[in-house]
Amino acid sequence: MAEWSEWLKMALMIGGTAGGAISTICAWIIWAMRREWVTKAELSVFQTRHAEQHAELDRRLQVAEVRFERLETSLRHMPTKEDLAQISEAVANVAAAISGIEATVRGMSQSVAGLQDTVTMLVRHELSERRTS
Could you tell me which residue, 23 or 35, shows the higher pLDDT?
A: 23
Q: Which long-range contacts (CB under 8 A, 24 or more apart) does 33-38 make?
A: none
Mean pLDDT for 75-103 is 91
Q: Which residue has the higher pLDDT, 5 or 60?
A: 60
* pLDDT tens figures, 43-71: 899 999 999 999 999 999 999 999 999 99
In the predicted model, is pLDDT for residue 11 greater than 80? no
Contact between 55 and 47 (Cβ < 8 Å)? no
Length reported for the chain: 133
Give which of 30, 46, 50 is closest to 38, Cα–Cα.
Answer: 46
pLDDT value at residue 58: 95
How far apart CA 33 and CA 23 sit, in angstroms, is 15
Q: What gap in Å lies between CA 105 and CA 99, rounded to an integer?
A: 10
Give the mean model confidence (pLDDT) for residues 16-41: 80
Contact 85, 77 (CB under 8 A): no
* Comparison of pLDDT for 18 and 79, the residue scoring more: 79
Q: What is the pTM of this model?
A: 0.40
